[in-house]
Structure 1
Amino acid sequence: MIRVLCALALLVLVWSEASATVTVLDQRALTLDSGQLSVLEDPGNAMDLAAVMQAYAAGDFIPIPAGLSAGYSDSAFWISARVLRPADAAPFWALMAQPSYLDQVDAYWLQHGRLVAHWAAGDMQRDTQHDLHPRLHLVGGELPTGELQLLVRLKTTSTSILLLQLIPQEKLAAVLDSRVFSEGFFIGLLVVILLINLLNGFWLRKSIFLYFVAYEAGLISVVLLASGLIESWFVSVDSVTANKWMQYALVINGFLAFVFFYRLLSFVSRYRRLIASLFMCGIGLVALALFMVLQERFTQGMAYASWGLMVLPPLVILPLALQWRVFDSEQIARVSGFLVFSLLVVANALYVSGLIPMSRYSIMIAPLLILSCQLILHFVLMFSVRKSERVLAQTLLEARQAEDQASLERQTRKMHETFTAMFSHEVRTPLAIIDSAAQSLLRLEDKADARRQRELRVQRLRDAVKRIGDLLQISIMRNRFDPAGDEASIGHDYDLLALTEKLIDSFPALQQERIRFNTSLSELELHTSIPEELLGVVLRNLLDNALKYSPSLFPVQVYIAREEGGVCWAVRDFGPGLSEHVRKHMFDRYFRANEGAQVPGLGLGLYIVNELVWRYALKLDVDSGTEGTRIACYILDAEEGDNA
Structure 2
Amino acid sequence: EAREGTIEGLWKVGDLTRDLRIQSILIPGMGGEPIGRILVFQDITSERELDRAKSALLSAVSHELRTPLAAIKGYTTTLLAEDVDWDPAARREFLQIILEETERLTRLVNNLLDLSRLEAGALVLQRQPYPLEAILARVQRDLRVDSHPISIQLPPDLPPVDVDPARIEVVFRNLLDNAIRYTPPGTPITISATIADGVVVVRVHDEGPGIPPEHRERIFDRFYRIPGHIRSSGAGLGLAICKGFVEAHGGRIWLAEDGPGATFIFTLPTWKDEDGGADFDRG
- TM bucket (normalised to shorter chain) is 0.5 to 0.7
Structure 2 SS opposite 1:584:
coil
Where in structure 1 do 4 or more consecutive aligned residues deviate above 6 Å?
468-476, 520-525
Match of 1:446 among 58, 72, 86: 86
Answer yes or no: is the 8 Å Cα contact 2:251–2:267 preserved in 1: yes
Alignment partners' CA distance in 1, 2:112 and 2:259: 40
> Pick from 121, 124, 139: which aligns with 1:482?
121
* Cα gap change, 1:460 to 1:569, in 2 (>3 Å): same
Deviations 1:129-162 (A, max 9, x none): xxxxxxxxxxxxxxxxxxxxxxxxxxxxxxxxxx
Once the two structures are TM-superposed, the CA of residue 448 in structure 1 deviates from its matched residue by: 5.3
Aligned to 2:203: 570
Match for residue 168 of structure 2 among 510, 515, 535: 535
- Residue aligned with 1:551, SS: coil
Distance (whole Å) between structure 2 residues aligned to residue 587 and residue 616 of structure 1: 17
Find the residue that maps to 2:129 and give its secondary structure.
Answer: strand
Give 2:147's aligned residue.
513
Q: Cα deviation per residue 1:152-185 (whole Å; 9 max; x = unaligned)?
A: xxxxxxxxxxxxxxxxxxxxxxxxxxxxxxxxxx
1:613 aligns with 2:246: yes
Which position in structure 1 is the counterpart of 2:266? 633
Amino acid at match of 1:514: H
2:252 counterpart of 1:591: no
Q: Is the 8 A contact 1:577 1:628 kept in 2?
A: yes
Aligned counterpart, 1:227:
none
Q: Give the whole-Å Cα distance in 1 for the aligned partners of 2:211 and 2:189.
A: 16
Task: Supply the AA of the counterpart residue of 1:450.
Answer: A
Structure 1 residue 459: Cα displacement: 5.4
The reply on whether 1:556 has 2:189 as its aligned counterpart is: yes
Q: Measure, in 1, the Cα distance between the counterparts of 2:115 and 2:226.
A: 29
Output one character per residue of 1:237-284: Cα deviation in whole Å (capped at 9) or x when no partner.
Answer: xxxxxxxxxxxxxxxxxxxxxxxxxxxxxxxxxxxxxxxxxxxxxxxx
1:526 and 2:165 aligned? no
Deviation for aligned residue 1:565: 2.6
TM-aligned CA deviation for residue 515 of structure 1: 4.0
Match of 1:494 among 126, 130, 133: 130
Structure 1 range deviating more: 599-608 or 441-450 = 441-450
Corresponding position of 1:134: none
Distance apart, 1:514 and its partner CA: 0.7
The 1:518–1:437 alpha-carbon spacing in structure 2 relative to 1, beyond 3 Å, is: farther
Q: 1:628, 1:466 → 2: CA distance?
A: 29
SS at match of 1:628: coil
> Quick check: 2:128–2:164 contact (8 Å CA) kept in 1?
yes
Q: Give the Cα–Cα distance (whole angstroms) in 2 for the partners of residues 479 and 596 of structure 1.
A: 28
| Counterparts of residues 298-317 of structure 1 (less than 5 Å) | none
State the TM-score, normalized to the length of structure 1. 0.27
Provide, for residues 57-79 of structure 1, a one-character-per-residue CA deviation record: whole Å limited to 9, x for no partner: xxxxxxxxxxxxxxxxxxxxxxx
What is the SS of the residue equivalent to 2:208? coil
**Cα shift at 1:599:** 1.7
The number of equivalent residue pairs is 211
Distance 1:524 1:436 in 2: 43
Tell me the amino acid that sits aligned with residue 526 of structure 1.
Answer: P
AA paired with 2:148? R
How far off its partner does 1:461 sit? Answer: 6.8
| SS in structure 1 of the partner of residue 138 of structure 2 | helix
CA shift, 1:438, in A, is 5.3
Shift of 1:600: 0.9
Note the C-alpha offset of 1:452: 4.0
Indicate the SS of the match to 2:263: strand
- How far apart, CA to CA, are the structure 1 residues paired with 2:119 and 2:217? 28
Residue-by-residue CA offset, 1:223-248 (whole Å, 9 max, x unaligned): xxxxxxxxxxxxxxxxxxxxxxxxxx
**1:546 is the counterpart of 2:182:** no
Check conservation: 1:618, 1:635, Cα contact below 8 A.
yes
Deviation of 1:536 after TM superposition, in Å, equals 2.3
Inter-partner Cα distance in structure 2 for 1:607 and 1:474: 10
Q: Distance in 1 between matches of 2:146 and 2:263?
A: 19
In structure 2, runs of 5+ residues without a counterpart are 1-49, 80-84, 277-283
Kept after mapping to 2: 8 A contact 1:577/1:624: no
Task: Classify the secondary structure of the residue corresponding to 1:578.
Answer: coil
What TM-score do you get using the length of structure 2 for normalisation?
0.54
Note the C-alpha offset of 1:624. 3.9
Q: Structure 1 residues 470 and 550, CA, compared in 2 at 3 Å: closer, same or farther?
A: closer
Question: Hey, what's the Cα distance between the residues in 2 that align with 1:604 and 1:479?
Answer: 12
1:593 counterpart letter in structure 2 = I
Rounded Cα–Cα distance in structure 1 between residues aligned with 2:113 and 2:156? 29
Letter in 2 for 1:632: I
Q: Compute the RMSD of aligned alpha carbons.
A: 4.6
Aligned to 2:45: none
- What SS does the corresponding residue of 1:513 show, helix, strand or coil? coil
Q: Which has the larger radius of gyration?
A: 1
Q: Percent of pairs identical after alignment?
A: 20
Q: Secondary structure at the match of 2:224?
A: coil
Structure 1 distance, partners of 2:101, 2:211, is 36
Instruction: Using the TM superposition, give the Cα deviation of residue 635 of structure 1 relative to its aligned residue in structure 2, in angstroms.
Output: 1.0
